[in-house]
Structure formats: structure tokens, C-alpha cells
Amino acid sequence: MTQYGTLRMWAAFLTFFGVLSVFAAAAGTVIWAIEVDGVWETLGVVLIGGPVSVFLATVPIALAQALRALADVGDTVAAR
């Protein structure tokens, strides 16, 4: 029995939220690229704005991995 169920629950929630955020960032980048005027603005959105927004959208996933790792360490230490 683990004592870190709350951390694992938050990790699952943050992973779900992070995946939704990545999809929303990707959809927003496509819409933004369609809305701008000109080739250079579109290239700027696709090559700079898109990757930055998707990268920032992955922050909840990284936090979830950290929480899950912390729970794994806690379980390992408690077992000894």
C-alpha cells in the first residue's frame, strides 16, 4: 500500500491537463498561422510561436513526472 496516492492523483490530473494543453496550443498555432497576413508572419508563427507555445504547454506534464518520481522515491525509501 502506498502512502503517496495524493501525489499520484495530482500527477494523473496534471498529465491529463497537459495533454489537453498541448492539443489546445497546437490548434491555436494553426488558427494563428491562418489569421496572420503575409508569408513572413506565417513563417514566424509556425517556426517560432508554435514551438514556444507547445513547449510551454508541456510544463504540467513535466511537473506530473516530477510528482510521480517523488512518490516513487518515497515508496522506495519507506520500504527499507
pLDDT in tens, 61-73: 999 999 999 999 9
Contacts of 12 (CB under 8 A, 6+ apart): 64
Which of 25, 8, 20, 21 lies closest to 66, judged by CA? Answer: 8
CB atoms within 10 A of CB 61: 18
Q: What angle do CA 31, 28, 50 make, to 5 degrees?
A: 100
CB atoms within 10 A of CB 10: 15
The phi and psi torsions of 3 (rounded to 5 degrees) equal -100, 5
Is the model's pLDDT at 1 over the cut of 60? no
Question: What is the reported pLDDT for 41?
Answer: 95
Q: 0.95 cut: is pTM over it?
A: no
pLDDT in tens, 5-63: 899 999 999 999 999 999 999 999 999 999 999 999 999 999 999 999 999 999 999 99
